[in-house]
Amino acid sequence: MATDAHSGTPGQSIDEPLYIEGETHLEDVTAAHDVVLVDFYADWCGPCQMLEPVLEELAGETAAVIAKVDVDEHQQLAGAFGVRGVPTLVLFADGEQVEQHTGVLPADRLRDLIEGYTE
């Protein structure tokens, strides 16, 4: 069964990272899903590339939706969240921002962070 990778149907589990297309799209995704981990990244960023397989794994293993925002493509959106370095991870629970971390976090720490809001 194919999933709608663009909108993420409410209540549906999304097993791969979802690429955000703008501010409205991000608002829709965070409103539609209980827990969303947003990765503000850049293609040229080495640490972002290291984090990519970890986020793909978490998308399949956890109840959280993993959303990705390209900071070069969406500079205003990154600015609105005070992103000063990449990767920056922003965690939303029930539509509200609850955590923000800059830099690469280990997979187990990210999993614990997500599970703290999904259990």
Which residues are marked as active site? 45, 48
Q: What's phi and psi for 59, nearest 5 deg?
A: -60, -40
**List of residues 6+ apart from 119 with CB closer than 8 A:** none
Radius of gyration over every alpha carbon of the chain, rounded to an integer in angstroms: 13
Tokens found for residue 22: 């703008």
Between the alpha carbon of residue 8 and those of residues 5, 80, 106, the distances in Å are 6, 23, 26
Q: Tokens 């029930």 map to which residue?
A: 94
